Structure 1
């Protein structure tokens, strides 16, 4: 098969046409003056859209908030169930190496969440020791990571509360024949209002906020500013309500203790 020869004139015209499209055009990148890109939406537009998402109960917004609440509540319950028992025992027990355990516990309080996420990822990956569970990128993995974050906080605060109570009532309980396990249970029950605050604070620090901030960062990177702002408003509202609840519990506890002291002094005077 013979190839048809191309005329030089037609070839030259096509080459000139191609070069013309390859030349730099008058675009913002070739202008001498700086080009300012206009924002897609203003802050007022994003805020109004975010309020509309909240008031109209947007399905995507409710899904993220519901998932955050479920993950945080489950992780907080697991961490509190373990942390309250472990903290109460550490507040009463005296054994060799207790100082090392407390040092490690205080160290775990400062571990970044990124490090915890990396360790959980390595454990649950296919090549990890827990890879056979198939929990990677699942609800259970999120709960596991959140529980690991909350556990040191609850344990440390519980240990401090029970240890302070041990200093006040420990000798009296020992004289009544209470062993360390019984003393830890009795002192934990006596400090139940403080421990309730511990549970709320622990979940507030590493529970709800962790999940919500991740969703806010993701939606911001995707450019969905109204949804990110709506999640931020919900996050601020939840944190505000938690702080109000903690303040009310603290005030009620102080009034309860002052009432108990007044009744005790009245009984002694009588």
Structure 2
């Protein structure tokens, strides 16, 4: 218990003094996770629209794969992304391994199935005849898609929160593809693992509390938007 209180005190000291290293790690963590979440939102929502609104052979099998991908272990993602970015891999020529871009790629792979799966479920919950009603009123296909997304906006915001939570909390993929390089690819989760391994439990607890606070602030903002949009 004493160790926990020491960690809390350390966290407040690091925040109060605006420790440059901790501040840099926190801002970098926020940057890569937001970019990965946005990329996943574009890919996931697009794939969700296709899977929810289009009939094609093997559609159920694809949805099953997406739902399986929602529980994809981050360390497995890290392994395959590392293999692709390795010097002899298909993308090795771009020299992206152990860079922020590699972390964003890995986190995007993790979050995309989560957002896709929830998007498919949200869009399939809409009334089946809604599309025909919108098109019968003279709307274009793009306008129809925009209206469907608007109707499903509440669960879609939940998808964004789930995707963000999935990437900001993972450690395996970021550690494997980023290398936990100081001042370059170190995020809060990998820094916490490193400090724990060194026996600096007070610093590890402090970093964990900062991570929890950052996650809470972002999700609180998204929840506020979601609840404000909720029909009265």
TM-score, normalised by the number of residues in structure 2: 0.82
Write the mapping of 1:104-143 to structure 2, written as runs, cut at 5 A: 104-143=65-104
Higher relative contact order (CA 8 A, sep 6+): 2
Alpha carbons 1:92, 1:180 under 8 Å: kept: no
Deviates more, 1:87-96 or 1:124-133: 87-96
Cα shift readout 1:60-82 (whole Å, capped 9, x = no counterpart): 21121111111111111111111
Write the mapping of 1:229-268 to structure 2, written as runs, cut at 5 A: 229-254=205-230, 257-258=231-232
Deviates more, 1:160-169 or 1:139-148: 160-169
Answering whether residue 30 of structure 2 is matched by residue 54 of structure 1, we say no
Q: How big is the shift at 1:83?
A: 1.2
Alpha carbons 1:162, 1:184 under 8 Å: kept: no
User: Match for 1:207 among 167, 171, 180?
Assistant: 167
Q: How big is the shift at 1:111?
A: 1.2
- SS of corresponding position for 2:208: helix
User: Match for 2:108 among 114, 122, 147?
Assistant: 147
Quote the residue 2:32 is aligned against.
Answer: 71
Alpha carbons 1:83, 1:154 under 8 Å: kept: yes
Quote the residue 1:22 is aligned against.
Answer: none
Cα shift readout 1:159-199 (whole Å, capped 9, x = no counterpart): 21122125261342354466766543330133334423322
Quote the residue 2:192 is aligned against.
Answer: 216
Distance change in 2, residues 1:128/1:48 (3 Å): same
* Bigger CA radius of gyration: 1
CA distance in 1, matches of 2:219, 2:34: 17
Distance change in 2, residues 1:45/1:107 (3 Å): closer
How many residue pairs align between the two structures? Answer: 215
- SS of corresponding position for 2:126: helix
Q: How big is the shift at 1:42?
A: 4.6
* Unaligned stretches of 5+ residues in structure 1: 1-40, 259-270
Alpha carbons 1:91, 1:162 under 8 Å: kept: yes
Alpha carbons 1:89, 1:181 under 8 Å: kept: no
User: Match for 1:173 among 119, 122, 134?
Assistant: 134
Deviates more, 1:47-56 or 1:109-118: 47-56
